[in-house]
Structure 1
Amino acid sequence: MTADRRKNALKYHEEGRPGKIAVVPTKSVVTAQDLSLAYSPGVAEPCLQIAETPDDVFRYTARGNLVAVVSNGTAVLGLGNIGPLASKPVMEGKAVLFKRFADVDSIDIELDTEDPDKFIEAVALMEPTFGGINLEDIAAPECFIIEQALRERMNIPVMHDDQHGTAIIAAAGLINACHLTGREMKDCKMVVNGAGASALACTALIKAMGVRHENVIVCDRAGPITPGRDNVDQWKSAHAVETSATNLEEALEGADIFLGLSGAGALKPEWVEKMADRPIIFAMANPIPEIMPEDAKAVRPDAIIATGRSDYPNQVNNVLGFPFIFRGALDVQATAINEEMKIAAARAIAELARERVPDEVAAAYGVSHQFGEEYIIPAPFDPRLMEVVSSAVAKAAMESGVAQAPIEDFDAYRFALKVRLNPTTAALTNIYEQAKANPKRMVFAEAEEDVALRAAIQYREFGYGEPILVGRTEKVREKLVELAVDDPDDWVIENSAV
């Protein structure tokens, strides 16, 4: 970390009120009457109602929109075991992301224990308080024990994001990488480097989505994990396969996919050369990946590459997943986050990347994105994630039988998701619906300019009417092609050349 970044980061956390979160009341407390309702004596009434009908806790308290971010600080980012106190800024940050991206209220809880049984007991006893539990930065193998025990014991969603959040985003990217390279998942040969929590969760989910068990070689520091190998725990042994490969280099020969969650520089360029045509390389070690994208491209320009970094294309970023997964789970009062919900999230994210990218994303990143080898995963600031991913998760929860409060009107639910973070969207949506009901022809001058042309494209795609483009015909058509319009020859263009 540079000196400037350290200075800026410390100032960001210190200035004003220290930290990044606060509790804000949702009801008015400005009069004596308000006070008597918020607390004694009025507060007794919802207490009595909940005692009589426990499900009414979702009507009268914040439980249905409240998630605990729980850690013991044993595996924090790339910092290792720094303890619960030092992990607090990360957990507060997670709470900020829950609120910013999905309007989920969150409280960070740091537990001062490395004993899995004590951790499990502490979290399980808090079930009446929270609608969901996000486990964070817990070392393996304890994280497997803790999550499994809590899922079995608690009747609310529990997810270790370091495992499943990474897995869901990686799976979404892999769906699109296979699509672009003409592969079927069931035919892919995959090599996984790293056998920690994230790597094994990624492997399990990708297998659940179609990659065959016998086509996956998982490598740890000692090489490929094979049946009967010494010093292999139960979580690793679940992915053991017979192979003649004795190391990562040999395992990669002819492989379609490299999935790395290991360490910097673990993948050598000369090994990449031995992979199959159009190799798919997900080098997700942070902050330095297993191979830098430019080094991989130097030997295999046909490769599709993803990393965990924001300064390269195709960032595998958990913020694309966990806020919206919990949003959907909370909204149907799901009792768990199951495999069906995770697969639904991965597929929804993958499909969103294939759609035209809205202008808000271009404005946030200063560059125009479109689906292709350098855009297989949506950008985190894509405003459609809230609606698309949350609704897919909620629907999967209902279909898999873990939803206690099924949604009856999904159109209304999707609309509510769309407007939740921006109330003005509700008013604008009504105007848009009126425009759709009365489509008109509209002239777009200066159609050779990106801003005008993008507006015309959205005008047509949203069903508001037929745009008439004014500009030099060939130039406008070239721009339409650049913006990935499917039918550039079918647009009405009034040639302005004289």
Structure 2
Amino acid sequence: MGGGAADAQRAEALRSRALAYHAAAPAGKLAIEVTKPCTTQAQLSLAYTPGVAAPVREIARDPEFAYDYTAKGNLVAVVTNGTAVLGLGRVGPLAGKPVMEGKAVLFKHFAGIDAFDIEVEARDADHLIDVVTAIAPGFGGINLEDIAAPDCFRVERELQERLDIPVFHDDQHGTAVIVAAALRNALIVQEKNLESVKVAIVGAGAAGVAIARMLQSMGVQRCFLSDVHGVLHRGRKDLSPWHDDLAVAPEDWTLAEMLADADVVIGVAVRGAIPEAALPTLAPRPVVFALANPDPEIDPRRVRQLRPDAVIATGRSDLPNQVNNALGFPYLFRGALDCRARRIDTGMLLAAVDALADLAREPVSDAVLAAYDLAPDSLRFGPEYIIPKALDPRLRERVAAAVAAAARRSGQARR
């Protein structure tokens, strides 16, 4: 069987398993669990009328009591308008619901956070902002998901200004945190430093913009981006205001020139966006992150063949160094909720970067080896292990604690 036919067969098998998984009764992936006993008349009188009036009065007197008497302090809204779902594009909010349910599953499984998926049929960005603002009082945080650029930048910014709870667009900052942690360790392996490397980011959507800003906050001096229309530079008239400060490349640069002598290439685009012809032109000991899923921007096997000196990461779970947002958003919110943070600021994001990078340099626990059916000493810090595994049980304690501590230092924490 040819490679293409085999790939098609595997894809169809995965499709069939996924549909059966989601259709098994009860359909979907979520349910609501009652946390208090309700088996007697006395208990029901506390859960609802007349007893429920007591916390109502306390919250009316001081809204902060909502954290003490309701689920608000451990509840996140996962919100989408369905305009940029996975690699499928504008499929609409209802079609995006399985992804939002999946996000809620990860919140609960990894961080013990309850989450409601909220799919909004929004007319435009203003409508989405108004809807989220209206539902926000009952939640401890808002996770924005699969909202197309450039609206995603404005939606997040305006909601952060309106609300006093964390508002976080995971496609931007969750990706940026994991990429930054992986890159910090990759550069240690390659014996380079952030301040001196040339970084080329292929893809200037939500993830690319956030990665660029995160790396700049960490000390990267030379960071260039491209999109489907070319390299970002001052002469481009088609860029949004959100790209202006990142359009720093020379106006005559092509993609090939942006990639030439790059120490770091980060793909957050589509299959084929990083040309194979660019590999020989990269700097010695390069770092190549090809993060499009399921098909990376360049075949990582070809990168390994043509540049054996490279450290490589992808978004795929079947290859080493998976850049997986599940390493970030559950624990960022866990830390933020634990200290009742007003927002997730840059200091909290950088604390997560440091915690993730540090953990990958520690010996791998037996629990991780067992979860991935790996032999002792088969996983250690180096070119094929620069970022922790998603099932590492130490992530919750390490990352959440670092985020909460950073929130207290910056004054974002309520407690």
Q: TM-score range by the shorter chain?
A: over 0.9
How far apart are the structure 2 equivalents of 1:111 and 1:244? 40
How far apart are the structure 1 equivalents of 2:252 and 2:182? 27
Q: Which residue of 1 aligns with 2:4?
A: none
**Change in CA separation of 1:362 and 1:133 when aligned onto 2, cut-off 3 Å:** same
Does the 8 Å CA contact 2:107/2:115 hold for their aligned counterparts? Answer: yes
Q: Which residue of 2 aligns with 1:329?
A: 336
1:278 lines up with 2:285 in the alignment: yes
Q: Which residue of 2 aligns with 1:62?
A: 71
How far apart are the structure 2 equivalents of 1:281 and 1:189? 12
> Which residue identity is paired with 1:188?
V
**Which of 387, 396, 405 is the matching residue for 1:386?**
396
Q: The residue matched to 1:305 in structure 2 has which SS?
A: strand
TM-score computed with the length of structure 2 as normaliser? 0.95
The percent identity for this pair of structures is 51
How far apart are the structure 2 equivalents of 1:328 and 1:71? 23
1:117 lines up with 2:149 in the alignment: no
How far apart are the structure 2 equivalents of 1:268 and 1:185? 24
How far apart are the structure 2 equivalents of 1:139 and 1:125? 21
How far apart are the structure 1 equivalents of 2:254 and 2:132? 40
How far apart are the structure 2 equivalents of 1:122 and 1:253? 46
Which structure has the greater CA radius of gyration? 1
Superposition RMSD in Å: 1.1
Mapping for residues 64-213 of structure 1, pairs under 5 Å: 64-212=73-221
Instruction: State the Cα distance separating 1:335 from its structure 2 match.
Output: 0.4
Does the 8 Å CA contact 1:245/1:251 hold for their aligned counterparts? Answer: no
> In the comparison of the two structures, how many residue pairs are matched?
403
Does the 8 Å CA contact 1:270/1:299 hold for their aligned counterparts? Answer: no
User: Deviations along 1:327-360, whole A, 9 cap, x unmatched?
Assistant: 0000111000111111110111010000111111
Q: Which residue of 2 aligns with 1:10?
A: 19
Instruction: State the Cα distance separating 1:109 from its structure 2 match.
Output: 0.3
Which ranges of structure 2 fall in alignment gaps of 5 or more residues? 1-9
How far apart are the structure 1 equivalents of 2:356 and 2:46? 43
Does the 8 Å CA contact 2:175/2:211 hold for their aligned counterparts? Answer: yes
Instruction: State the Cα distance separating 1:220 from its structure 2 match.
Output: 1.3
Q: The residue matched to 2:313 in structure 1 has which SS?
A: strand
Q: Which residue of 1 aligns with 2:387?
A: 377
Does the 8 Å CA contact 2:235/2:251 hold for their aligned counterparts? Answer: no
1:360 lines up with 2:367 in the alignment: yes
Q: The residue matched to 1:187 in structure 2 has which SS?
A: coil
Please list every run of at least 4 consecutive aligned residues from structure 1 whose deviation after the TM superposition is greater than 4 angstroms: none
Instruction: State the Cα distance separating 1:16 from its structure 2 match.
Output: 1.7
User: Deviations along 1:409-460, whole A, 9 cap, x unmatched?
Assistant: xxxxxxxxxxxxxxxxxxxxxxxxxxxxxxxxxxxxxxxxxxxxxxxxxxxx
User: Deviations along 1:45-78, whole A, 9 cap, x unmatched?
Assistant: 1111111222111111110000000001110001
Q: The residue matched to 1:237 in structure 2 has which SS?
A: helix
How far apart are the structure 2 equivalents of 1:72 and 1:162? 14
Instruction: State the Cα distance separating 1:244 from its structure 2 match.
Output: 6.2
Instruction: State the Cα distance separating 1:114 from its structure 2 match.
Output: 4.1
Q: Which residue of 2 aligns with 1:269?
A: 276
Instruction: State the Cα distance separating 1:228 from its structure 2 match.
Output: 2.9
Q: The residue matched to 2:143 in structure 1 has which SS?
A: strand
How far apart are the structure 1 equivalents of 2:243 and 2:228? 12
Q: Which residue of 1 aligns with 2:37?
A: 28
Instruction: State the Cα distance separating 1:223 from its structure 2 match.
Output: 1.8
1:398 lines up with 2:415 in the alignment: no
Q: Which residue of 2 aligns with 1:421?
A: none
User: Deviations along 1:253-301, whole A, 9 cap, x unmatched?
Assistant: 1110001111112222331111111000011112111111110111110
Instruction: State the Cα distance separating 1:26 from its structure 2 match.
Output: 0.6
Q: The residue matched to 1:258 in structure 2 has which SS?
A: strand
User: Deviations along 1:304-347, whole A, 9 cap, x unmatched?
Assistant: 00111111111110000000000000011100011111111011
**Which of 200, 221, 240 is the matching residue for 2:228?**
221
Q: Which residue of 1 aligns with 2:263?
A: 256
Q: Which residue of 2 aligns with 1:484?
A: none
How far apart are the structure 2 equivalents of 1:373 and 1:344? 23
Q: Which residue of 1 aligns with 2:60?
A: 51
How far apart are the structure 2 equivalents of 1:23 and 1:82? 27
Q: The residue matched to 2:34 in structure 1 has which SS?
A: coil
Relative contact order higher in (CA < 8 Å, ≥ 6 apart)? 2
Q: Which residue of 2 aligns with 1:308?
A: 315
Q: Which residue of 1 aligns with 2:5?
A: none
